[in-house]
Chains A and B, each alone.
Chain A
């Protein structure tokens, strides 16, 4: 009983299929436009994952369709297949190789995570207030200046968002920034982002927060530092007292931006 499989041909087919899928899928900007320093590393990680996934998928498809083509029973054939119960070396291989691949993926992701959460020297601190179903923002100053429904930030400067939810959980997401963080009642959460592309974007609530969830959006404007200063200077309102309470409490409790307690 000889058991020969065209291993080289199957592997070759897998590589060709991997290349085909990668050539089609990698150039596509799946995550849409990128407008922060986090977008580059995250999108590159995604591309690497697409190539690795294409390989795994191709391997499965080649194995499946080769087996279906080669070992399909002839009509009327009621005999059994060959009594092969396993192959220890093969089983060790498909335990160890995936382990190495996922550990590589974990290490790479960890690196990217550290990268995008790296704190700069002097970030702009912006308070984010969320409530059913609206966003508002507080800017540093003597009494924080308040903007309802519109977020402005300067380009190429790290922004540290301190997030406060007033009723239920909301989630802060600007797809072009690739940054998302829940706003949780009772605690202050933080996110850092360095926008690197001027333009107008949308802030989307991504945590179900009630019947108005789908409409809970805000306008995001990334502009030059000069325009930004002018805009903040033009803000007439101060952060309302109930919102300000949360900021004060937070500053007293945990002045560290990404401290282990509330990050």
Chain B
């Protein structure tokens, strides 16, 4: 028993959790005693006896789990082994439940965990659609309904879409650039383990007295500053998800900038790497804003600061400015990695170099820059300074330009190719182009102030965000999961079930979200548990398609689980792709490469006679020396 407590692991983590919680409660009791407050709760909001342990208990868990062991030993001057690989790699399924520093293990941990939350959030969506199938209240009361859609959104955004991209990139990005691992493996493991803590906290808010947090994922003050305890679970959970995001982004930046294989110039990086470079630039600078603003709400609630209390001189609208300064870039954080996935999938299955590779990379950077200057388009009717609307409208509409470049370049890639559609990944990639175009078009309409004034906060918005986040991001996630499934598991999935999932998802997405545009324009506001009877028929139809969409996801789940266990063995390179991750075995060896590959050309040189992206150990006997960086630009083949 004492050995289990000394060794990092689940036993010590459970102990750490309990001690952390006890420490938090004790701290509150002592501070209240010193301040002369009654020891137990009397205020309407705040609940310090719960909020402080919400922070300390997860930290205790992480300490017990061993997330900080190496750094603490180092800081304390105790002996450490810099090249200690005892926590690296997985030989059995148990290793996936440990603090593991292997980027491939972490990648799988990320994807599986985030899909767990995807299905939790999906179940909530099903409940929401069940309630909305008919006007009037049937299944849940309005407060529970508000809790359901708020938690649905938060799970999908903070513990599914954002981190699943981090997970996929965690797995393939170091392989793609020819690196043995991420730059900071221990930080990488910590980033992952922060995530389930955040997700469980969001789910746990349903257990809080007063119900789950019910102010929408936007949590506008002062509704949120006066809300019951559940709100604090969101405020604190976002800190863990945000810290995870920031740490991962730093890790990606350092990895991409410093650990590329010899010969891999910036202009030879696969577009997935470019996409994650761009995303990480957004995450590191924008995410602190949502962390900060949720702390401000938490402080307003728990310790009586008055950032957003209008009666105490606070400024209500400043919440929205700070919130959207993160949350608009966040939609690109949720989209750019997907753009990268689509580029990989389309180029590989069309057997063609990406059309206009350099412009594709520059478009990503253009989106990064522009996305910092559009946040107030969420606030056209919010009562902010009216002069800010027109400049924000112009920047918002301009973002359509780099996005359009990407759409047309993918289409250009298809021309004169040899398009293979046997892979479900390719089907999702092609469907993505169409659905994302619709989402982009409604986005341009929303960017126009006069149209936005009418449709803002209606179901048109719900339709738009689901077209870009489900028809956009989630389609790219499916494309990515199917594309790299053979690499990650060493087995092939069932294409027939994949097609079933694809068509169910495509029809379900269109059937669910297209009519939402119509009811929204016609006068149905969003975030309502009940609506006027005139929208009843459309909502019934929407709900039916939504259930179909949900059922299709069960096919995906079945396919993934069964194929992972029983699927036929996958070769190293089932899609005949060029990028480096496909030149090693499936799954790759523990440190990825026997010898670091040497990059000698662009990543998508399909059809170029004699072209090669990288020279791996073993086929390198007659290989030329890697060319200096400047020469590489000629073979990248962009204009």
Contacts and interface: CB of A to CB of B under 8 A. Distances in A.
B215 A263 contact: no
Given A41-B450, A49-B451, A94-B408, A82 B521 contact: no
B441 A57 contact: yes
B381 to A, nearest CB: 5
Interface string B512-541: 000000100111011111111000000000
Interface stretch (B101-109, B333-341, B398-406): B398-406
A32 B448 CA distance: 19
B496 interface: no
B22 interface: no
Contact of A262 (B315, B383, B389, B441): B383
B522 A99 contact: no
B434 A179 contact: no
Given A30-B521, A86-B639, A91-B639, A185 B316 contact: yes
A72 B419 contact: yes
A53 B352 contact: no
A204 B421 CA distance: 48
A81 B441 contact: no
Contact of A81 (B387, B416, B454, B522): B416
Given A91-B359, A106-B397, A109-B450, A206 B456 contact: yes
Given A169-B220, A173-B525, A184-B316, A85 B400 contact: no
Interface in B420-447: 420-421, 430, 433-434, 437-438, 441, 444-445
B357 A207 contact: no
Contact of B606 (A81, A180, A213): A81
Interface in A237-263: 258, 260-263
A171 interface: yes
B430 A64 contact: yes
Given A73-B419, A182-B381, A208-B223, A258 B605 contact: no
Contacts of B314: 186
Interface string A166-185: 01110101010011111111
Contacts of B398: 99, 102-103
Contact of A64 (B433, B450, B638): B433
B527 A213 contact: yes
Interface in A68-108: 68, 71-73, 77-88, 90-91, 94-95, 98-99, 102-103, 105-106
B451 A46 contact: yes
In this complex, the member of B359, B387, B451 whose beta carbon has the largest number of chain A beta carbons within 10 angstroms is B451
Contact of B383 (A83, A86, A181): A181
Nearest to B411: A63
A38 to B, nearest CB: 8
B522 A71 contact: no
Given A83-B353, A98-B400, A175 B523 contact: yes
Contacts of A90: 412
A98 B357 CA distance: 19
Nearest to A94: B408
Contacts of A3: 416
Given A71-B416, A85-B357, A205 B525 contact: yes
B457 to A, nearest CB: 4
Contacts of B397: 102-103, 105-106
Contacts of A179: 453-454
Contact of B518 (A30, A88, A103, A207): A30
Given A80-B352, A85-B637, A186-B315, A180 B310 contact: no
Interface in A42-75: 42, 45-46, 49, 53, 56-57, 60-61, 63-64, 67-68, 71-73
Contacts, number: 274
B195 to A, nearest CB: 27
B456 A180 contact: yes
Contacts of A46: 445, 451
A82 B448 CA distance: 41
A88 B532 CA distance: 53
A102 B444 contact: yes
Nearest to B522: A32
B608 interface: yes
A184 B317 contact: yes
A95 B363 CA distance: 10
A214 interface: yes
Contacts of B400: 98, 102
Contact of A112 (B215, B417, B450, B526): B450
Nearest to B448: A109
B33 to A, nearest CB: 34
B316 A91 contact: no
B205 to A, nearest CB: 16
In this complex, the member of A110, A116, A183, A258 whose beta carbon has the largest number of chain B beta carbons within 10 angstroms is A110
Contacts of B352: 80-84
Given A32-B521, A260-B386, A45 B451 contact: yes
B123 interface: no
A169 B576 CA distance: 55
A49 B448 contact: yes
B143 interface: yes
Given A56-B441, A171-B381, A79 B351 contact: yes
Contacts of B215: 208
A122 interface: no
A166 to B, nearest CB: 10
Interface string B551-587: 0000000000000000000000000100000000000
Given A30-B522, A31-B521, A208-B216, A82 B222 contact: no
B199 to A, nearest CB: 23
A124 interface: no
In this complex, the member of B142, B430, B518, B523 whose beta carbon has the largest number of chain A beta carbons within 10 angstroms is B523
Contacts of B234: none
B449 interface: yes
B304 to A, nearest CB: 17
B390 interface: yes
B191 to A, nearest CB: 32
B317 A53 contact: no
Nearest to A31: B521
Contact of A175 (B454, B518, B605): B454
A123 interface: no
Given A56-B437, A91-B639, A106 B450 contact: no
Contacts of B385: 260-261, 263
In this complex, the member of A56, A83, A87 whose beta carbon has the largest number of chain B beta carbons within 10 angstroms is A83
B73 interface: no
A109 B390 CA distance: 9
26 contacts: A38-B450, A42-B454, A45-B448, A56-B437, A64-B414, A64-B433, A72-B421, A79-B418, A80-B352, A80-B606, A81-B418, A82-B417, A85-B636, A91-B356, A91-B409, A102-B400, A102-B444, A105-B397, A106-B397, A169-B220, A180-B453, A185-B310, A187-B317, A208-B216, A211-B146, A214-B531
Given A42-B451, A210-B223, A212-B142, 20 more contacts: A30-B521, A32-B523, A64-B414, A68-B430, A73-B419, A78-B576, A84-B355, A85-B637, A86-B639, A103-B397, A169-B223, A175-B454, A178-B454, A180-B381, A182-B381, A187-B310, A207-B457, A213-B527, A214-B530, A214-B531
Interface of B: 141-143, 146, 214-216, 220, 222-223, 226, 310-311, 314-317, 350-353, 355-359, 381-383, 385-387, 389-390, 393-394, 397-398, 400-401, 404-405, 407-409, 411-412, 414-421, 430, 433-434, 437-438, 441, 444-445, 448-451, 453-454, 456-458, 518, 521-523, 525-532, 576, 605-608, 611, 636-639
